[in-house]
Amino acid sequence: MARIAVDEGLTNVREFLRREGFEVVLPENATDVAAVVVSGMQENMLGREDVMIDAPVVDARGKTPAEILGALRDALGNRRPGDQPPAI
């Protein structure tokens, strides 16, 4: 199951992604996440200056939950939650 960090203010997105099978956490708990969804491309989204996330970041501004899901699937290579990575 893909673990996605979603800003606290995006309740509708958080619930939508949960229904789609994603594990949703707050950005403060963004360790080992596949992607991050933010409400805007704010600086210092985790409240710490020394944190770097090696995961795609999706800006939710102006997007519906379905559009955000599409952006996440594109960023994650169209995998669905629980899918195994492709064999190399």
Q: How far apart are CA 52 and CA 67, in angstroms?
A: 25
**Per-position pLDDT tens, the chain of length 88:** 789 999 989 999 999 999 999 999 998 877 889 999 998 755 555 554 445 667 889 999 999 999 999 999 998 886 555 554 443 3
Domain residues for 47?
3-75
Residue 5 neighbours by CB distance under 10 Å: 26
- Specify the pLDDT at position 80: 55
Residue 82 lies inside a defined structural domain of this protein: no
pTM reported for the whole predicted model: 0.75
Residue 85 lies inside a defined structural domain of this protein: no
Asked whether the beta carbons of 82 and 1 are under 8 A apart, the reply is yes
The full length of the chain comes to 88
- Specify the pLDDT at position 47: 52
Residue 12 lies inside a defined structural domain of this protein: yes
Residue-wise pLDDT for 26-42, tens only, equals 988 778 899 999 987 55
The domain tally of the chain equals 1
Alpha-carbon distances of 79 from 28, 60, 83, rounded to whole Å? 25, 20, 6
Instruction: Tell me which DSSP letter residue 6 carries.
Output: E
- Specify the pLDDT at position 55: 85
